[in-house]
Structure 1
Amino acid sequence: MEAVFATLVGLFFAAAIYLMLSKFSIRIMLGIAILGNAVNLLLFTAGRMTREVPPIIPTGADTLNADAANPLPQALILTAIVISFSFLAFLLVLTYRAYQDLKTDDTGKMRVAEPEQRPLPPLGY
């Protein structure tokens, strides 16, 4: 089962990099979202995927069984989901405001829409 998830992680990373190299801000944002999901799936796969033994310490024991799933990546993934959701909400608002102000989604045209910087006049002493 890990081989299937490893392949899926590779596909997610490839799709995320392809989208993030685009010149449109919506595609870049979708690429960042897919990249976050790829990292979460990578952590989940690395933390052992077993259904037989849950990550619960049995009564009278001090540690987990050797064949139990590692609970630390699962806790990290829960935290990362919340952080990536808030980051994606911020990016969505930022992209929407940029589209409202500049009337374009193309990052190349956004660069052209910047006002030209005039040099400051020399200080007269």
Structure 2
Amino acid sequence: MELYMSVAIGVLFTVGVYLLLSKSLLRIILGMSLLTHGVHLLLLTMSSLKTGAPPIAGEQAQRFVDPLPQALILTSIVISFGVTALFIVIAYRAYKKLQTDNMDELRGEQDE
């Protein structure tokens, strides 16, 4: 199972970096979103994919699943959604003001 997750993480990182290197602001935002989802899968895979009982006190502690990675990933998902929403709002305002989403034109390389 870890092999399939590693391949999925690699694909998400590859597509995310490809989108980050484009000139369109919307593609850059989507690339950041894909990178954060890749990091979430990476954290989940590093915490060893195993199934078991919920972490309630008992005598068979080896079967229990550690809840800390899932809590960290859930927190990271909420933060990434907030950051993505902020990026979208900033990109929308920049598009409304400058009428473009090209990064070369947004850098202020316009001669006036």
TM-score scaled to structure 2, two decimals? 0.89
Q: Equivalent of 1:104, from 88, 100, 104?
A: 100
5+ residue gaps in structure 1?
117-125
Structure ID, larger Rg: 1
Partner in structure 1 of residue 49 of structure 2? 49
Tell me which residue corresponds to 1:58. 57
Point out 4+ residue stretches in structure 1 off by more than 6 angstroms: none
TM-score, normalised relative to structure 1: 0.81
RMSD: 1.9
Measure the CA separation in 2 of the matches of 1:74 and 1:84.
15
Q: Secondary structure at the match of 2:61?
A: coil
Give the deviation of 1:55 after TM superposition. 4.0
Structure of greater relative contact order (alpha carbons < 8 Å, 6+ residues apart): 2
- Note closer, same or farther for the CA distance 1:55–1:43 as it changes in structure 2 (3 Å cut): farther
Q: Deviation string for 1:8-48 (max 9, x for gaps)?
A: 00110111111001111000000000011000010011112
C-alpha displacement of 1:49: 1.3
Q: Percent identity?
A: 41
Change (3 A) 1:115 1:94: farther
Distance 2:53 2:76 in 1: 21
Higher helix share: 2
Alignment length (residue pairs)? 112
1:43 & 1:114 partners in 2: Cα distance? 43
